[in-house]
């Protein structure tokens, strides 16, 4: 059954293989209810391939899979008839999601599937494949863990996978070419990407191997987030949507062109009933068939608020620990009224949907639009309030001056779980490359201080922290900013850096452990933040201090003092009288404490964090 109300005829073409053969059977569909067409075929079609063609405006469109196709062959050209039950890996019926008590317990690790395994020194056999991330016991040349074991050891809770649905830009028929793309050019929304499977021609293989990946991550205490791109399609006129129901699924301008808020040639119309229905049913399918634990919405600001809230209602009814978040902006102008769009400033109108906090990202580093700009961690004044904005998870707090926050004149998160704090992601420079570019005269030791400080702010702030894969080993892309189609040599994680920067990895590992051990850094409501977190007035523009008091969120520590010094030089701070234990000092972490301090004046080193606690 397909939905195509405006067309005059529809046929289904059946094939013996996924690319080469001519159709061995062509059957006409019958017009049925509510704009749909229906065909019933007797017999066993398992393993056969098929496409749809419609007749409209005195001509036949190209043969394509239905947008709802669940399995396809090589390059997604033809859909495939399969029994989904036969794609389940062993033990799939017993797959268990790792426990999650609160959304603010989440720590995200954003990963492109090829990057983790492509390098020769990854020790991973199935490089660039779904199954590569299921391999355990893999090591680099110095016997340090890589791949799955590395991520597990780091301690994050969720692996965010860049697009793993079937996308357009990779020729799956030529795996020997080792092509690379981030995958933000959707082709078949409900099918795993074939180039990540061991056999793209067989529609069931990619499904089974992706399920195996999900189950393996679950078995290792990691939840799985899919990066989804419903805001546009990789092709426009030739897309599956347009070949089956021309122009319906897109926003069209008054002149008859395609609105282009995606900057990719088109934008979908989530406010139209059948596009909204498609998104909801697609996401529901990924949750129920593949056990996916969350979704990151590319250019979420293109989608309408009503659709995002309906999506949230449907998915949370299935699983109330699912996490939904997205980019609260567009890449170009949209014809949909701004007040209806799921933009960051309207996050408070969204139901359990979070947005990326670029206010604090650019407060910490400087404007992403100018990679040579400086921010809080490299001593530029004027960003204190933007950093404080992230510390309270973009919620309302009486001690944040919203008039001078980077891009937001008021709090946009109802609760801290609606704020995703980050300083780097797949877009733009890696954190290390960005710091290197903005601070050309600085030594590597100074860059590492800034690097640690940046994500110490992120991992001790309220909200949901988000880390770019490899940031824990000072990942570099050799200064390439937009590496969406750069080769593996640029994008891959170089596992020798784990050896060279083992101390940095241990710092990140201990920082994550600190957050997980202490719920005061991940309060579940803005009321708790307002009641337990207060800022300490500092006259220096690059010095921030705050106090978390009274066993916040059930923490075993009674009181916590946090200071961030973005200056290159040391600064003097005043610590209230008490029995304080220093747990973070001068780029090192020890929860048992480096020393005791009774209060008074204390020197905090430049470009560092200082955390003191009282039992």
Catalytic annotation, residues: 298, 327
Say how many CA atoms lie within 13 Å of 69 toward its Cβ.
29
- Cβ atoms of 185 and 170 within 8 Å: the answer is no
Indicate the DSSP class of residue 68.
T
**Using CA atoms, how far apart are residues 124 and 607, in angstroms rounded to an integer?**
37
Return the ∠ at Cα 368 (arms to 357 and 455), rounded to 5°: 55
CA torsion 462-463-464-470 (nearest 10°) is -50
What Å distances lie between residue 179 and 163, 176, 182, 346, 489, CA to CA?
15, 8, 10, 38, 11
Beta bridge partners of 98: none
Structure tokens at 233: 């399609």
Q: What does the alpha-carbon distance between residue 84 and residue 494 come to, in Å, rounded to a whole number?
A: 37
Sign of CA dihedral 437, 442, 443, 447: negative
DSSP 424: -
Asked whether 420 and 357 are in contact (CB, 8 A), the reply is yes
Q: Which two tokens stand for residue 36?
A: 């749909």
- What's the CA gap between 132 and 143, in Å, rounded? 18
SS3 state at 581: strand
Tokens of 286: 């990924």
Q: What are phi and psi of 356, to 5 degrees?
A: -70, 140
Rg (CA), the chain: 25
User: Which residue is associated with the tokens 């850096």?
Assistant: 497
């Amino acid at each position: 059954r397909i939905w195509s109300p405006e067309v005059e005829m529809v046929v289904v073409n059946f094939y013996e293989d996924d690319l080469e053969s001519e159709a061995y059977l062509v059957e006409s569909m019958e017009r049925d209810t509510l704009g749909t067409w229906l065909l019933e075929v007797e017999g066993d079609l398992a393993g056969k391939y098929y496409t749809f063609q419609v007749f409209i405006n005195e001509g036949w469109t190209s043969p394509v899979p239905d947008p709802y196709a669940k399995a396809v062959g090589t390059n997604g050209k033809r859909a495939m008839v399969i029994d989904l039950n036969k794609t389940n890996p062993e033990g799939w019926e017993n797959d268990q999601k790792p426990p999650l008590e609160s959304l603010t317990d989440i720590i995200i690790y954003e990963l492109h599937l090829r990057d983790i395994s492509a390098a020769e020194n990854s020790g991973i056999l199935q490089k660039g494949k779904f199954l590569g991330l299921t391999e355990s016991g893999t090591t680099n040349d110095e016997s340090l863990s890589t791949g799955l074991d590395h991520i597990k050891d780091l301690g994050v809770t969720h692996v965010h996978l860049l697009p793993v649905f079937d996308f357009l830009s990779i020729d799956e028929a030529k795996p020997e070419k080792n092509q690379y793309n981030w995958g933000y050019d959707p082709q078949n929304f409900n099918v795993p990407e074939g180039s990540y499977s061991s056999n793209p021609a067989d529609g069931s293989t990619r499904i089974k191997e992706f399920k195996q990946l999900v189950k393996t991550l679950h078995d290792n205490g990691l939840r799985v987030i899919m990066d989804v791109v419903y805001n546009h399609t990789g092709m426009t006129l030739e897309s599956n949507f347009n070949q089956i129901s021309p122009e319906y699924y897109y926003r069209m301008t008054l002149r008859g062109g395609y609105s282009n808020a995606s900057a990719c040639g088109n934008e979908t119309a989530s406010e139209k009933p059948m596009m909204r229905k498609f998104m909801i049913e697609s996401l529901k399918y990924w949750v129920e068939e593949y056990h996916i634990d969350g979704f990151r919405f590319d250019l979420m600001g293109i989608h309408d608020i009503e659709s995002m809230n309906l999506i949230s209602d449907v998915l949370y009814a299935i699983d109330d620990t699912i996490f939904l978040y997205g980019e609260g902006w567009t890449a170009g102008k949209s014809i949909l009224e701004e007040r209806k769009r799921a933009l960051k400033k309207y996050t408070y109108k969204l139901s359990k949907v979070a947005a990326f906090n670029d206010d604090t990202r650019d407060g910490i580093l400087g404007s992403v639009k100018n990679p040579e700009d400086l921010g809080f961690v490299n001593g530029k004044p004027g960003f204190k309030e933007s950093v404080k904005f992230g510390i309270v998870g973009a919620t309302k707090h009486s001690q944040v001056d919203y008039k001078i926050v980077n891009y937001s004149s008021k709090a946009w998160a109802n609760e801290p779980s609606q704020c995703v704090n980050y300083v780097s992601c797949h877009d733009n420079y890696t954190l290390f490359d960005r710091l290197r570019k903005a601070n050309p005269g600085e030594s590597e030791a100074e860059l590492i201080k800034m690097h640690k400080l940046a994500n110490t702010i992120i991992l001790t702030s309220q909200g949901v922290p988000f880390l770019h894969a490899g940031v824990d080993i000072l990942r570099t892309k050799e200064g390439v900013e937009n590496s969406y189609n750069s080769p593996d040599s640029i994008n891959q994680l170089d596992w020798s850096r784990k050896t060279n920067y083992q101390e940095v990895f241990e710092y990140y590992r201990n920082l994550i452990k600190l957050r997980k051990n202490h719920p005061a850094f991940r309060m579940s409501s803005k009321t708790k933040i307002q009641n337990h977190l207060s800022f300490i007035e500092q006259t220096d523009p690059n010095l921030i201090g705050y106090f978390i008091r009274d066993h916040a969120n059930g923490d075993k520590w009674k009181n916590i003092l946090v200071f961030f010094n973005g200056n290159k030089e040391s600064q003097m701070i005043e610590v209230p009288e008490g029995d304080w234990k220093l747990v973070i000092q001068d780029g090192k972490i020890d929860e048992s404490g480096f020393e005791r301090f009774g209060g008074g004046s204390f020197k905090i080193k430049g470009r560092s964090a200082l955390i003191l606690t009282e039992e």
